[in-house]
């Protein structure tokens, strides 16, 4: 059986030399992703983090270790500022914030994200005929690849791009250590409620 046939039957397998990458995208995941337009559309405006609801028995997190690796690579490109003082994504609570958010959403919204990350990881050979995983590309190549999602003629790719983009923004820009970059002074509550705050009429 050829590698290609195997991929058709069991999922989109890794090109030669990439066996140590993330798990392959299964056909059913891909189909699920393609049929998840409305959910991804909603994620494209994602702005919130409800209480956590762990789903991975081994780690207590929504995303597996490998999925987090892909997510981290995506977030790094989405929030690249070019500023030397910008905190690195992995040095902040960004991924944990995103994980808490996604793990607690309605399953109809969150379920496409795992296959989406896997699709993105294997998308360079699928969409660009570039035989490399996303996480193995250099930053400029990753940006070019993401730009392809942003401007794709396929609606689901554009919606998926904005879902991941806004997840990244919400995860990163709510971290206090990023606020000096944009001049945000943060909540006032740290000083405690002021005296004489309002009362009902």
Partner 1 sequence: MIVDLLERGGDLREEADVCVIGSGAGGAVVAAVLAEAGLSVVVLEQGQHHTRADFDQREETMLPRLFEEAGMRQTEDGSVTILQGRGIGGSTVHNLCYCFRAPPPVLRLWRERHGLPELTDEALAPSFERVEHGLGVVPIREDEVNALNRLVRRGAEKLGYSGFVAKHNRRGCVQSGYCLLGCSYDAKLSMLITYVPRADAAGARIYASVRARRIEADARGAHRVHAEVVDPTGTALGLVRVRSRVVVLAAGAIATPILLKESGLAGESGQVGRNLHLHPAVMAAGIFEEPFAPYRGIPQSYYIDEFIDLDRDPESGVILMPIAGFPGLTAANLPGFGREHFRFLRAFDRTAGLLALLHDRSAGEVEPGPSPARPRIRYRLDADDARALAEGLVHCAEVLMAAGAREVLIPYFDAPLVVRSTAELAEIRRRGVRQGAIPIASTHPQSTCRMGGDPATAVVDAFGECFHVPRLFVADMSVFPTSLGAPPQITTAALADRTAHHILARREELFAGS
Per CB under 8 A, does 95 bind partner 1? no
Torsion of CA 80, 83, 84, 86, to 10 degrees: -60
Which of 19, 51, 57, 129: binder of partner 1 (CB under 8 A)?
A: 51
The C-alpha atoms of residue 37 and residue 156 are separated, in whole angstroms, by 6
Residue 12 or residue 163: which is nearer to partner 1 going by CB? 163
**Window contacting partner 1 (CB under 8 A); options: 23-31, 50-58, 59-67, 116-124:** 50-58
Letters for 164-193 (x = contact with partner 1 by CB under 8 A, - = none) are: -xx-xxx--xx---xx-xxxxx-xxx---x
**Window contacting partner 1 (CB under 8 A); options: 15-23, 26-34, 36-44, 122-130:** 36-44
The C-alpha atoms of residue 116 and residue 123 are separated, in whole angstroms, by 10
What is the smallest separation between the CB atom of 154 and partner 1, expressed in angstroms? 14
Which of 56, 128, 141, 143: binder of partner 1 (CB under 8 A)?
A: 143
Torsion of CA 140, 145, 150, 156, to 10 degrees: -160
Q: How many residues bind partner 1 (CB under 8 A)?
A: 59
Running DSSP on this structure, what letter comes out for residue 47? -
The C-alpha atoms of residue 171 and residue 176 are separated, in whole angstroms, by 11
The CB-side HSE value for 30 (13 A sphere, CA atoms) comes to: 17
The C-alpha atoms of residue 22 and residue 133 are separated, in whole angstroms, by 9
Per CB under 8 A, does 200 bind partner 1? yes
Do the beta carbons of residue 178 and residue 92 sit within 8 Å? Answer: yes
Note the residues at the interface with partner 1 (CB under 8 A).
38, 41-51, 53, 77-83, 97, 101, 104-109, 143, 146, 150-151, 159, 162, 165-166, 168-170, 173-174, 178-179, 181-185, 187-189, 193-194, 196-201
């Amino acid at each position: 059986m050829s590698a290609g046939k195997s991929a058709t039957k069991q999922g989109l397998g890794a090109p030669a030399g990439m066996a140590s990458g993330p798990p392959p995208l299964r056909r059913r995941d891909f189909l699920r992703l393609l049929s998840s337009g409305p959910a991804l559309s909603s994620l494209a405006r994602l702005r919130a983090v409800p209480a956590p609801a762990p789903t991975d028995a081994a780690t207590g997190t929504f995303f597996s270790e490998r999925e987090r690796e892909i997510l981290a690579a995506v977030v790094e490109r989405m929030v690249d500022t070019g500023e030397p003082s910008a905190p690195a994504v992995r040095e902040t609570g960004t991924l944990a914030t995103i994980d808490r958010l996604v793990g607690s959403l309605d399953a109809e919204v969150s379920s496409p994200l795992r296959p989406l990350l896997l699709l993105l990881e294997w998308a360079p050979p699928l969409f660009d005929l570039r035989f490399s995983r996303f996480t193995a590309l250099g930053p400029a190549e990753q940006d070019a690849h993401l730009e392809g999602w942003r401007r794709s003629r396929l609606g689901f790719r554009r919606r998926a791009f904005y879902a991941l983009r806004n997840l990244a923004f919400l995860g990163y820009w709510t971290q206090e250590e990023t606020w000096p970059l944009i001049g945000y002074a943060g909540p006032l509550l740290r000083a405690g409620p002021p005296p004489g705050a309002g009362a009902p009429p």
